[in-house]
Structure formats: C-alpha cells, structure tokens
Amino acid sequence: MKKSEDRTRDQVARAILENGPLTAAELSSKLKLTAAGIRRHLDFLLEAGILEAKEPFRLSNAVRGRGRPSKVFVLTDQGRADFEHSYDDLAVSALSFMASVPDRNLVQEFAESRAREIARLSRKDLEGETSHSKKIEKLSHFLNEEGYATTIKSTAIGVELCQHHCPIAHVASQFGELCEAETEIFSHILGSHVQRLATIARGDGVCTTYIPHSPILSNNNQQTQQDHKNQKTQKNTHTNQRRDGVSS
C-alpha cells in the first residue's frame, strides 16, 4: 500500500493530468493543501523529473498585471508514463470492448458525442462572435482552459492552432476516431474548413490544425484550387520541419 505522501503526490500529478497546467496556488486550493505542503510535493516531483515548471500561456491581448506571473506545472513525458497508465488502460479497454460490439460503431458514436460536448462547452466563449480571427483566438483560449496548452501562430496563408498537450494522447493513438471527430467539430465551431497537419497521438510533438485566413466552409463545393494549393504547401512545410527536428 502506498504511503500517505506518495498518494498525495499521485493526486498532485493526477490533478495536472486532468486539468492541464496549474499553479501552486491552484493545486493548493484544489487539493486542500497548505502552501508549504504543496510546495514540498512539487519540489519532490520536479526533482524526480515527473513535473516541470513553465511560464503560463497568455493571449496576445491579455492585460498583464504587476509583477511576474506565477509559473504553472505540467507533466513531463516521464510523468505521463508514470501517472496515467491505469486511466488510459481502462479507457482503451472500454473502447476496445465498444469496438467489438457487432452491428454498431460505438467508438465512432462516442467520438462524435465527445466532440459535441466540446462544442457545447465552448459555446459560451464563442457565442455571438462573428470575426473569424476572434473565433480562432477564443477557441484557443477555451482549449487552453481545458488543459490543452494551446497557442496560435499566424502564417502568410492561414493560422496554425497548436495544442501542446493532449490529455487523451495514448487513447487517441489507438482510436483515431477521437482526433477525426475533434477536427470536424473545430470546423463546425469556426464555420471554416480546417486541416490537421500533426497530432501528438501519431507521435508528433504537438497537435497542429491549419485554418485558412478566409472562413471557407467545409461543405462548400466551390472551394478554390488556391486554398488546396495553400494547404498542400503548409502541410509539406510542416512535414519538412518535423524531419529537420523543428518544432511548431
């Protein structure tokens, strides 16, 4: 049986896994631990290589307060391996069972249901927004709040929405329907064609979704040849960057 301190450290890592990057103060509040207590556990997990401290992500137009923002703590690759196997194994077992049920594509149904939930939860952030660029920015902010550590990078031909953390990466690596449904719901939310260039689930360092500057609907049969050419150029550029070891 695990010692009390080991169980608490598990809870700290689990809180970060399920909620995304958190500050020491946020962890202290969530786990009802004193500031000194949470700091002791964080120091241990940092030294063990399970966590790392990073500067918090901020939107480009966010108002900065006085002083330096508190660092956030995220799981390292080692930390994910140590703390998420039981959760992932259960999810994989459940989806594997669903996949074995005859005459029903339950995995696809689940993936679409999860995607619809993303749309529902993001609605309060994007409702009433008509600006294409603002929609992208607000979707990025929503995903960041959900623990995806999301950033935006504008290019000459579009925008790259980069998710630097994926809470379901291990499961999605075996059930691609989850990534596909998520991509489709991004298109629905933004009212625009989108294209996935890379995913953590396939072994890339970051999930990257390309969004053209002009909001071209995914069901528009008159989509221009130039947009297809732009997407191909973007994908080839990204592929070459990965081969050269360049991160988005």
How is 11-68 classified by DSSP, letter by letter? HHHHHHHHH-SB-HHHHHHHHT--HHHHHHHHHHHHHTTSEEEEPPP--TTPPP-SSP
pLDDT in tens, 182-228: 999 999 999 999 999 999 888 888 899 999 988 765 444 334 334 44
Q: How many helices (H) and strands (E) does the chain have?
A: 10, 6
> Is 248 part of a structural domain of the chain?
no
Residue range(s) defining the domain that contains residue 55: 4-83
Q: Where residue 104 sits, what CATH number does that domain have?
A: 3.30.1380
Q: Is the pLDDT of residue 128 over 80?
A: yes
Question: Residue 240: which pLDDT band, with cuts at 50, 70 and 90?
Answer: very low
**Could you tell me which residues come within 8 angstroms of residue 48 by beta carbon, excluding any fewer than 6 positions away?**
none
pLDDT in tens, 86-95: 667 788 899 9
Please check whether residues 95 and 59 belong to one and the same domain. Answer: no
Q: Is the pLDDT of residue 12 over 80?
A: yes
pLDDT in tens, 156-185: 889 999 998 887 888 999 999 999 999 999
Contact between 116 and 178 under an 8 Å Cβ cutoff? The reply is no
Question: Residue 61: which pLDDT band, with cuts at 50, 70 and 90?
Answer: very low
Choose the final residue of a domain: 83, 104, 137.
83
Q: Is the pLDDT of residue 48 over 80?
A: yes
Choose the final residue of a domain: 25, 57, 83.
83
What single-letter DSSP state applies at residue 202? Answer: G
pTM of the predicted structure, to 2 decimals: 0.58
- Beta-bridge mates of residue 209: 161, 196
